[in-house]
């Protein structure tokens, strides 16, 4: 831009108008580039095509400049480029330019952090917010080109004070989005809504900033006279400040002060720059500009005096409100260098049941029992297949579930844990619960605050196992943890025969996206396979080279280790054979379903789109692989399984695949709970599915038993879990006794009534069942379930339904 100002066509025009117009149009061009790149080019042509397009546009601009350069006569007074600071360097103005750049780019980081409490953390959201900022600057530049003043120095402090006031007022009057009432209440993904919110918060100060730079350049030009030197120096100082601002905001202000105090400090910074830019003669009240400056100063002080300093608590509460619907309460709040983290805890019977880590406006991770199933299998699945493993690498710590699973293996000698967020490690000691402890103090564990990809590229170590707890896939930046190039980095850091496991949550993806990730994974790991419990949280597994069948002695030792065996039981893996029931597909099936699919790549990141997943399609996709007969056939015919799967793990497989299918259907779409329970009780010894049918789990049960032990009588609120526990033990008399206690209280749940009748029959007390049914006959509402139950009890136990 400084070179452009020396063009003969522009040289004879008024300097302030020229620099402002050039700056405005240049920035509006940046808006077009950002929107075109994000909205079309990257998606259509990938990063190489987008870069090539940018290069072609730059060449086109150079060609246009060359054509014009030949048609316009050169200035006769031009003496070539020369650098001169004049008689006196305008250091004060240059410092104002430096400070303005620092404040505005720091504000941009602070604004974006605040907005993430309401909008999705996606590349589209970031691009939209960036476009609003750039549009404000560009339009401000065009507005500045219309300003005609012989004394721009008097205008400068007025603009800086307006920026200070605008910083505060745009935050105070930020328009809160309408609460939708669902789990994504403030997870806004609509670009028009993001544009509206961004415009209210950022546009006013961005517009003023667009006016500020041309005015500062004009003020400097009054001192230096040379157009190129004045523009170049002012822009240099402004840009150096702009480079420093995000570092100051991200690594100092936000972690130490939080976003609201950082906003206030930025506003105070603009006010300080206004004082610095004032000339001594501006302190009188003889001219309108001096009066206006004084009034703006008074207004700024008044706003600071009446500022709602607790407003930030409302915004934090809004971000976490959707996740408090389960009666979770806030435990800790941390504004870190990268994210705003809020730790919520759900108590049960007066003790912690599970935690949820809310990052910005998104539930990033948690210790819910359902989540623990796949998080712990990230560790246990490769440990079971490679029990001789000595070291492991965990990318992304989350809430520590996978790390905790690793540290339960006494044979593992070392665990490296890498996470980009220091605050995630700081929160590690905040989690407590039944049979859970912070894994980080374990002497075998080493933590690294580092980007996972950089760690893989830079570190020399090779590992037996590499796994991770990555953020949800549609969060900005996570795509780079699912590309073929990332999987190649993981592959290169494995020992020979080392194993990789990685999360594949197909409920968060479209089917095409799932296939693109599977294709990328298989391109790197030729023997890739997929595993899952009874939900859509799947696990990809691959190895460096051919996997060997695990040593029988080490395998028995793995399953005889009490801490691991107990932990596996809590997540529903109660026997070695149940590992077989986790199988979904091997490499041959991956090749079949991904035929013709392009892999997710660093160069084509938009193959993972911002499109909301189709849950029905994901359910049907998963349903096809959980069908018992088809799943068993794929397992038994798989060359991969024949090669590496221990023989002793291949027994009674029909039951385990059937249980997985039944639990999947029940969790995803609902089922006949008593029919499921009957099968589990009479045809298996499994505990987890029995508890699940009763909406309980091993974690709830442990808390309920602890609560009951310190109570004189059976607490009513713990009774459902205690009943479920008795059924899981197959202690039918104990379950009947608990249900009879509930009958004495008056059944609060009609299902308890039906369960008691069923258990009477199962326990050989058909007469009691008939008597109870007859006594309640008038209150029983006839429906398909009652008809089914009477028919089954009659056929199985000779039960006579009430008249």
Each residue's pLDDT tens digit, 403-418: 999 999 999 999 999 9
Q: Which residue has the higher pLDDT, 90 or 86?
A: 90
Is the pLDDT score of 193 beyond 60? yes
Nearest to 137 by CA among 2, 280, 57, 242: 242
Average pLDDT (709-727) is: 92
Number of H helices, E strands in the chain: 32, 12
CA distance 747 to 636: 47
pLDDT band at residue 261 under the 50/70/90 scheme: very high
Please tell me the predicted confidence (pLDDT) of residue 146: 87
Q: Where are the domains of the chain?
A: 4-74+89-175+185-309, 313-362, 372-664, 672-797
Q: Name the CATH topology of 372-664.
A: Rossmann fold (3.40.50)
**Listed range (29-38, 74-83, 624-633, 745-754) with the worst mean pLDDT:** 74-83
Is the pLDDT score of 669 beyond 80? yes
Q: For the domain bounded by 4-74+89-175+185-309, which CATH number is listed? A: 1.20.1250.20
Please tell me the predicted confidence (pLDDT) of residue 72: 61
Per residue in 221-257, pLDDT (tens digit) is: 888 767 778 888 999 999 999 999 999 999 999 999 9
**Listed range (39-43, 173-177, 367-371) with the worst mean pLDDT:** 173-177
Q: Is the dihedral of CA 695, 700, 704, 705 positive or negative?
A: positive
Is the pLDDT score of 70 beyond 90? no
**Listed range (6-10, 105-109, 411-415, 637-641) with the worst mean pLDDT:** 6-10
pLDDT > 90: percent of the chain: 74
Is the pLDDT score of 356 beyond 60? yes
Q: What share of the chain is helix, strand, coil (3-state, %, to 5)?
A: 65, 10, 25
Per residue in 309-326, pLDDT (tens digit) is: 999 999 999 999 999 999
Mean pLDDT of the chain: 91
**Does residue 226 contact residue 6 with C-beta atoms inside 8 Å?**
no
CA distance 156 to 100: 11
Is the pLDDT score of 531 beyond 70? yes
pLDDT band at residue 4 under the 50/70/90 scheme: low
Is the pLDDT score of 71 beyond 70? no
**Does residue 452 contact residue 395 with C-beta atoms inside 8 Å?**
yes
Per residue in 281-311, pLDDT (tens digit) is: 656 667 788 888 899 999 999 999 999 999 9
4-74+89-175+185-309 and 372-664 agree in CATH topology: no
CA distance 400 to 481: 19
Is the pLDDT score of 74 beyond 60? no
Nearest to 769 by CA among 720, 722, 802: 802
**Listed range (58-67, 82-91, 372-381, 769-778) with the worst mean pLDDT:** 82-91
Please tell me the predicted confidence (pLDDT) of residue 757: 96
């Amino acid at each position: 831009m400084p070179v452009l100002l020396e063009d003969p066509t522009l040289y004879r025009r008024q300097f302030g108008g020229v620099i402002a117009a050039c700056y405005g149009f240049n920035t509006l061009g940046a808006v077009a580039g950002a929107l075109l790149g994000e909205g079309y080019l990257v998606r259509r042509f990938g990063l190489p095509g987008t870069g090539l397009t940018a290069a072609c546009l730059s060449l086109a601009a150079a060609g246009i400049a060359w054509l014009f350069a030949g048609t316009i006569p050169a200035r006769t007074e031009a003496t070539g480029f020369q650098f001169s600071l004049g008689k006196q360097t305008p250091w004060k103005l240059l410092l104002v330019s430096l400070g303005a750049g620092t404040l505005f780019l720091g504000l941009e980081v602070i604004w974006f952090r605040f907005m993430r409490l309401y909008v999705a953390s996606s590349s589209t959201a970031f691009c939209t917010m960036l476009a609003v900022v750039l549009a404000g600057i560009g339009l401000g530049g065009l507005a500045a080109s219309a300003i005609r003043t012989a004394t721009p120095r008097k205008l400068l402090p007025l603009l800086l004070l307006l920026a200070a006031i605008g910083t505060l007022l745009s935050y105070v009057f930020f328009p809160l989005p309408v609460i939708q009432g669902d789990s994504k209440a403030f997870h806004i993904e609509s670009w028009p809504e993001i544009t509206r919110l961004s415009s209210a918060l950022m546009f006013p100060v961005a517009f003023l900033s667009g006016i500020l730079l041309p005015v500062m350049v004009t003020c400097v030009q009054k001192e230096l006279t040379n157009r190129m030197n004045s523009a170049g120096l002012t822009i240099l100082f402004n840009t150096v400040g702009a480079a420093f601002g995000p570092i100051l905001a991200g690594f100092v202000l936000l972690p130490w002060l939080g976003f609201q105090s950082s906003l206030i400090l930025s506003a105070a910074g603009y006010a300080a720059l206004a004082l610095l830019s004032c000339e001594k003669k501006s302190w009188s009240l003889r001219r309108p500009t001096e009066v206006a400056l004084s009034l703006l100063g008074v207004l700024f002080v008044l706003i600071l005096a009446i500022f709602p300093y607790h407003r930030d608590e409302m915004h934090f509460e809004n971000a976490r409100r959707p996740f408090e619907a389960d009666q979770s309460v806030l435990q800790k709040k941390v504004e870190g260098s990268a994210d705003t983290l809020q730790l919520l805890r759900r108590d049960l019977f007066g003790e912690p049941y599970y935690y949820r880590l809310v990052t910005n406006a998104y539930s990033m991770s948690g210790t819910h029992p359902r989540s623990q199933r796949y998080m712990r299998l990230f560790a246990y699945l490769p440990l079971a297949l490679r029990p001789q493993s000595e070291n492991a690498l965990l990318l992304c710590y989350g809430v520590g579930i996978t790390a905790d699973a690793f540290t339960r293996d006494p044979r593992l000698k070392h665990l490296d844990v890498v996470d980009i967020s220091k605050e995630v490690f700081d929160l590690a000691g905040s989690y407590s619960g039944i049979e859970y402890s912070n894994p980080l103090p374990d002497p075998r564990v080493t933590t690294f605050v580092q980007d996972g990809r950089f760690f893989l590229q830079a570190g020399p170590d090779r590992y037996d196992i590499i796994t991770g707890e990555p953020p949800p896939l549609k969060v900005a930046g996570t795509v780079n943890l699912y590309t073929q190039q990332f999987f190649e980095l993981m592959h290169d850091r494995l020992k020979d025969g080392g194993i990789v496991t990685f999360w594949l949550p197909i409920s968060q993806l479209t089917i095409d996206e799932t296939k693109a990730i599977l294709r990328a994974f298989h391109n790197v790991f030729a023997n890739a396979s997929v595993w899952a419990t009874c939900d859509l949280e799947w696990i990809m597994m691959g190895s460096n080279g051919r996997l060997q069948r695990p040593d029988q002695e080490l395998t028995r030792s793995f399953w005889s280790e009490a801490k691991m065996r107990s932990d596996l039981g809590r997540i529903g893996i109660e026997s070695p054979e149940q590992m077989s029931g986790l199988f979904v597909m091997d490499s041959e099936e991956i090749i079949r379903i991904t035929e013709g699919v392009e892999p997710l790549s660093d160069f084509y990141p938009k193959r993972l789109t911002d499109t909301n997943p189709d849950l029905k399609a994901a359910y049907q996709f998963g349903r096809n692989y959980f069908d018992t007969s088809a799943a068993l056939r794929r397992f038994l015919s798989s060359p991969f399984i024949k090669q590496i799967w221990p023989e002793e793990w291949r027994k009674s497989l029909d039951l385990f695949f059937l249980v997985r299918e039944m639990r999947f259907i029940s969790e995803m779409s609902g089922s006949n709970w008593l029919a499921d329970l009957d099968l589990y009780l009479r045809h298996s010894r499994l505990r987890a599915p029995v508890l699940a049918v009763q909406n309980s789990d091993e974690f709830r049960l442990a808390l309920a038993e602890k609560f009951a032990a310190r109570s004189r009588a059976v607490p009513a609120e713990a009774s459902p879990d205690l009943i479920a526990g008795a059924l899981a033990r197959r202690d039918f008399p104990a379950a009947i006794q608990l249900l009879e206690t509930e009958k004495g209280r008056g059944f609060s749940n009609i299902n308890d009534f039906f369960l008691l009748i069923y258990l009477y029959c199962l326990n050989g007390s058909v007469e009691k069942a008939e008597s109870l049914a007859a006594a309640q006959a008038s209150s029983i509402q006839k429906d398909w379930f009652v008809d089914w139950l009477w028919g089954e009890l009659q056929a199985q136990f000779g039960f006579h339904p009430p008249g």
